[in-house]
Amino acid sequence: MSNQPAAASGTFSIGGDLPINRLGYGAMQITGPGVWGEPKDPEGALRVLRRAVELGVNFIDTADSYGPFVSELLIKKALHPYKNDLVIATKAGLTRSGPDDWRPVGRPEYLRQQAELSLRHLGLERIDLFQLHRIDAKVPLEEQIGELALLQKEGKIRHIGLSEVTVDQLKAANEIAKIVSVQNLYNLAKRDAEPVLQYAEANNIAFIPWFPLATGALAREGGPLDAIAKEHNAKPSQLALAWLLKRSPVMLPIPGTSTLSHLEENVAAAEIQLTDEQFNALSDAV
């Protein structure tokens, strides 16, 4: 493994002006159980964040609701003042009342409040990528995206992204403001968001797959992931990340973890080069 293996994942420029290494880090798992409260090992969480950057990760994805705010505060404690090339993306639009409980709230005044809090908690003057965590069906889309566009005009956020949307919702939001990223559930075993990925590819929109390591039965002993992983002296989870990176140039996987060993394993996946034959074999295995 090289000193900065994340660089082997290739680069993508978010919004045309934020170049990053495509393999990033998702900071949800550095909170407590149920994505609630402080982690059991706060110092360990700080070490993971610092090590990710040492390994060449320069795109970290978090959200105000992770903790809530625990993830953002840990990122600030571990990494502030930030390296010039480090892009931190955060999200707002899901509220929390306890572990594993998530409820959409997209009222403009709430989104503005959370953006201001994220600026403070992350120690930033401007958030490079601010994502609507979920569209709130009770609030007109133009009010939700419109408030983010106003924050953008005020210089508090640089770019706007969405999470868990359909192609029609993405198109509608793009009529209100420029959308530069979309974050949907997508992995080797579950590809319902394929139409959204194809739209993102056609429009040079970053596609950030959450839950990227899910492999299901594909990783069973003797299964397709297991067999090809052995050819690369790698683990099935690493092959799942390598497959995502090869699938599309707009793909930005953000595997998360709370342990150093798993972090290094994930980032090392950037150096695995699948052949077309191996890629197709995995694609067709589902």
Residue carrying the six token digits 């060449």: 56
Cα(37)–Cα(220) distance, integer angstroms:
34
Q: Which residues of 62-87 are buried (b: 16+ CB within 10 A; e: fewer)?
A: bbbbbbbbbbbbbbbebbeebeeebb
Apex 212 CA angle, 219 and 234, nearest 5: 45
Token representation of residue 108: 């403009």
CA distances from 226 to 174, 211, 213, 243, 279 (A): 41, 19, 14, 13, 13
| Active-site pick, 25, 66, 186, 199 | 66
Cα(75)–Cα(33) distance, integer angstroms:
18
> Is 186 one of the catalytic residues?
no
* 237 in Cβ contact with 268 (< 8 Å): no
Tell me the angle at which helices 108-122 and 70-79 cross, rounded to the nearest 10 degrees.
30
Beta bridge partners of 207: 182, 251
Task: Give the catalytic positions in this structure.
Answer: 66
